[in-house]
Amino acid sequence: MPNKRVLITGAAGFLGSHLCDRFIAEGYNVVAMDNLITGDLRNIEHLMKLKEFEFYHNDVSKFIHVPGQIDYILHFASPASPIDYLKIPIQTLKVGSLGIHNCLGLARVKNARVLIASTSEVYGDPMVHPQTEDYWGNVNPVGPRGVYDEAKRFQEAITMAYHTYHGLETRIVRIFNTYGPRMRLNDGRVLPAFIGQALRGEDLTMFGDGSQTRSFCYVSDLIEGIYRLLHSDYAEPVNIGNPDEITIREFGEEIIKLTGTNQKLVTKPLPKDDPKQRKPDITRAKQILGWNPKISREEGLKITYDYFKSLSDEELYKTAHRFE
């Protein structure tokens, strides 16, 4: 029997590239697609020589054509850090609307199953804690995060509509803060920001008083959850994240300890609509997928720090955001 063939959009990004690795390791043929606005070919260059791997430099928000059989489509294309989607708001909205529409249309033609990357941002600045999948969220549609949050909410809605109206097989993962190797050092997210600052001997920029919380999941745990969800028969959204919650202040202190630097935490203004707390309720993932995160923050941060340490000085000092 020929290998199953999976299309991954956003394949050169942080999560997309780890998905490519996993599907190749599981014996799939991978069709990787990316427009390289925020993705980086270096994340997948080790796969380029494999006959099981093809790369399309394509924008999924425009019409896409992929010849041959496709069994699964994983839609992971999207800017995903607050700085990115503030810089490229229209592309963010388009990939979450036109992009998923193209994927769903392709899936109907190919009779493929679609899994979409949704996000804890659909809960906005949550009034329910920890966040369960049946919470509808508290999102400001016209705030700075609106372009991302509403695109992802629309993406869930259209995916569910294709499921109920066309009977398409669909899966929705709500991804909470995830970290690991191949995060972009200059994407503005708290972990690469703090580690980059520590490595350059700069103080760590804590936004607000640092009392806001996040719960960080190591990338291999997330990929395992996604892999299990894809192969399940469950079409409702599933949270995947690590419920180990920490304040941003404590997180900064952990990074200072990990990097053994003498840097301080310095306060910067809290961005508008920055969620005050975030922690996944993962009861559903446990029950339906038998999934549980395995990697502690201590372990995951060490691997991630070693990765950032191995980058060149040029990379480390390329702090200016690429859209500036």
- By C-alpha distance, which of 147, 21, 139, 37 is closest to 82? 147
Q: Which residue in the set 81, 131, 155, 220 belongs to the binding site for ligand UDP (CB under 6 A)?
A: 81
Secondary structure (3-state) at 298: helix
Q: Is 254 in the site for ligand UDP (CB under 6 A)?
A: no
What is the DSSP code (8-state) at residue 264? -
Q: How far is the CB of 268 from ligand UDP (least distance, A)?
A: 7
Q: Is 238 in the site for ligand UDP (CB under 6 A)?
A: no
Q: Is 87 in the site for ligand UDP (CB under 6 A)?
A: no
Catalytic residue among 72, 85, 148, 162: 148
**Taken in order 277, 283, 289, 290, is the CA torsion positive or negative?**
positive
Q: How far is the CB of 276 from ligand UDP (least distance, A)?
A: 8
Q: Is 255 in the site for ligand UDP (CB under 6 A)?
A: no
Q: Which is nearer to ligand UDP, 32 or 255 (CB)?
A: 255
The bridge status of strand 53-57 relative to strand 29-34 is parallel
Q: Binding residues for ligand UDP, how many (CB under 6 A)?
A: 14
Is residue 317 annotated as a catalytic residue, yes or no? no
What is the DSSP code (8-state) at residue 88? S
CB atoms within 10 A of CB 215: 22
Secondary structure (3-state) at 14: helix
Q: Is 163 in the site for ligand UDP (CB under 6 A)?
A: no
Helix residue ranges per DSSP H, 167-247: 190-200, 219-230
Active site residues: 148
Give the footprint of ligand UDP on this chain (CB under 6 A).
81-82, 177, 189-190, 193, 205-207, 212, 214, 248, 271, 274
